């Protein structure tokens, strides 16, 4: 393997989940070469000691390819489940009465244990309970301290410990379980770049997780419950990024309501300058087939046309038979969409108005100047990554080269639209900034002799939040002389 790999030729990022089919160092490297920009480690499965070799393989590959690489740890969140049945399962008849109670005795076709007292506290008559990913539907009739009487609206077979969704009320449960807290500590101790928080219902859930993370990683809020959509802007204020988790959204909402919800979440996140990931069942058939359905390809393309920062593979890359092919297909769809002459116009259906700050004004100007002078690249110097996020929000027509002295910042850029991050020593003067910008543009192969580049930075250098300089330079092509290859 060569130690260098060219920057991606596309703007949208690809997030690939690692699992039994893709946990080896060789396969991780193959997924990276095929187009994966970031890797998701699902904390719902496996022990901590199983994750350590995966983390080590990603970090070793990062050194080999000399490319900051992103690791996202996805916390499981609370799982609501019914108890067990005397025969392992029971058949619930449509139209029948069914009881959920607090008795641990194995269940029958008439009752089963519900070991979550919080649900008893939250439910009201008329609320729905969805069982086994929504295959069975119960309607609450009465709620008592020790039992809930329901009417079976959609019946069927219900087996031990099947999942339960409560879409119509906010369940008074924290988003972080004891297991999540242990997993979060493990993730931060092992250099997590992003933590994905499940079961978000309200802004307070995000605030709690943010406090526990203590700045050691960026925080992504998974939007998988209707209650979270109702308070989306408040949640986004506190989160660093957001995920459209369509699996659970599709259980708790009628399927036809998920596409408009997806567009609303993507648009809101873009407007607020937060990276947004679209996830779940994107290339589902590629778990078993080497090629996707046309509908799946269209689904991925729609998310890219809408301007999502990243598209995610779940079981396709974690446990499917064709992990490398699934990543390559994601990459191919993105390349095709982004080469469509109508892509830029569709991308800018969402208007992103700058805040009344110097940094936002310069971010908007950088994108406009790049178009006006036909620049080939925007380069930004950043400590925290906030300047890069502001520029990416504008969805500029040219790539964004992010230069930062902080490796943690470079790694977090793997979910940011259009960005290619490089860790490099900080600069101390305007002249040094210009010289370094030129060298890095050439070294990364993102610009050539005669090209113009737009440089955005802050003076004094090394001060977070001081973005106040925009500069246009032309490359002569000999800037690397005396600096090696």
Active site residue 81: yes
Residue whose tokens read 């309501």: 257
Q: Of 208, 232, 210, nearest to 219 (Cα)?
A: 210
Q: Of 68, 171, 89, 87, nearest to 129 (Cα)?
A: 171
Q: Kindly name the residue from 81, 202, 346, 423 that is annotated as catalytic.
A: 81
Q: Which two tokens stand for residue 411?
A: 């790694």
Active site residue 350: no
Q: How many CB atoms lie within 10 A of CB 444?
A: 18
Q: Kindly name the residue from 222, 246, 270, 438 that is annotated as catalytic.
A: 222
Q: Kindly name the residue from 10, 11, 40, 389 that is annotated as catalytic.
A: 40
Q: Which two tokens stand for residue 170?
A: 């906010």
d(CA 244, CA 359): 28
d(CA 374, CA 165): 52
- Residues forming beta bridges with residue 98, ordered by sequence position: 150
Active site residue 222: yes
Q: 130-141: b or e for each residue (b if 16 or more CB lie within 10 Å)?
A: bbbebebbbebe
H/E stretch holding 386 reads helix 386-393
Parallel/antiparallel/unpaired status of strands 194-197 and 136-143:
unpaired
Q: Of 338, 314, 320, 184, nearest to 248 (Cα)?
A: 314
Active site residue 280: yes
SS3 106: coil
15 contacts 76 by C-beta, under 8 angstroms:
no
Q: Kindly name the residue from 280, 352, 409, 467 that is annotated as catalytic.
A: 280
**Residues with active-site annotation:** 40, 81, 222, 280
């Amino acid at each position: 393997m060569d130690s260098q790999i060219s920057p991606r030729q596309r703007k949208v990022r690809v997030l690939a989940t690692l699992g039994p089919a893709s946990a080896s160092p060789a396969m991780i490297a193959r997924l990276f070469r095929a187009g994966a920009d970031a890797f998701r480690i699902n904390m719902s499965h496996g022990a901590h000691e199983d994750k350590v070799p995966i983390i080590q393989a990603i970090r070793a590959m990062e050194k080999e390819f000399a490319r900051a690489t992103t690791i996202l740890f996805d916390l499981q969140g609370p799982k609501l489940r019914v108890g067990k049945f005397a025969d392992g399962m029971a058949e619930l008849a449509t139209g029948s009465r069914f009881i959920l109670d607090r008795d641990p005795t194995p269940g029958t076709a008439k009752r089963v244990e519900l070991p979550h007292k919080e649900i008893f506290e939250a439910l009201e008559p008329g609320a729905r309970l969805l069982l086994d990913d929504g295959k069975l539907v119960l309607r609450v009739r009465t709620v008592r301290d020790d039992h809930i009487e329901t009417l079976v609206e959609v019946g069927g077979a219900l087996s031990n410990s099947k999942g339960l969704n409560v879409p119509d009320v906010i369940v008074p449960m924290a988003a972080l379980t004891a297991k999540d807290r242990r997993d979060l500590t493990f993730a931060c101790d092992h250099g997590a770049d992003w933590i994905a928080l499940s079961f978000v219902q309200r802004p307070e859930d995000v605030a709690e997780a943010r406090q526990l993370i203590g700045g050691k990683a960026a925080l992504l809020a998974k939007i998988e419950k209707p209650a979270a959509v109702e308070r989306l802007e408040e949640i986004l204020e506190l989160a660093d990024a957001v995920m459209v988790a369509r699996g659970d959204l599709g259980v708790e909402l009628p399927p036809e309501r998920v596409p408009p919800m997806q567009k609303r979440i993507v648009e809101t996140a873009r407007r607020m300058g937060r990276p947004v990931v679209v996830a779940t069942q994107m290339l589902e058939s590629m778990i078993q087939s080497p090629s996707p359905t046309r509908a799946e390809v269209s689904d991925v393309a729609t998310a890219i046309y809408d301007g999502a920062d990243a598209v995610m593979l779940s079981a396709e890359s974690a446990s499917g038979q064709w992990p490398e092919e699934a990543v390559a297909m994601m990459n191919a769809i993105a390349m095709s969409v982004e080469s469509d002459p109508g892509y830029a116009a569709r991308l800018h259906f969402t208007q992103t108005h700058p805040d009344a700050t110097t940094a936002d004004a310069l971010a908007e100007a950088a994108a406009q100047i790049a178009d006006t002078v036909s620049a080939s690249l925007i380069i930004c110097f950043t400590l925290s990554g906030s300047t890069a996020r502001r520029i990416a929000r504008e969805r500029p027509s040219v790539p964004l080269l992010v230069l930062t002295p902080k490796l943690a910042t470079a790694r977090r850029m793997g979910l940011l639209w259009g960005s290619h991050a490089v860790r490099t020593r900080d600069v101390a003067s305007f002249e040094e900034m210009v010289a370094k910008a030129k060298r890095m543009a050439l070294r990364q192969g993102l610009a050539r002799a005669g090209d113009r580049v737009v440089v955005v930075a802050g003076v004094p250098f090394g001060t977070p939040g001081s973005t106040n300089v925009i500069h246009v330079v032309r490359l002569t092509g000999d800037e690397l002389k005396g600096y090696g290859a």
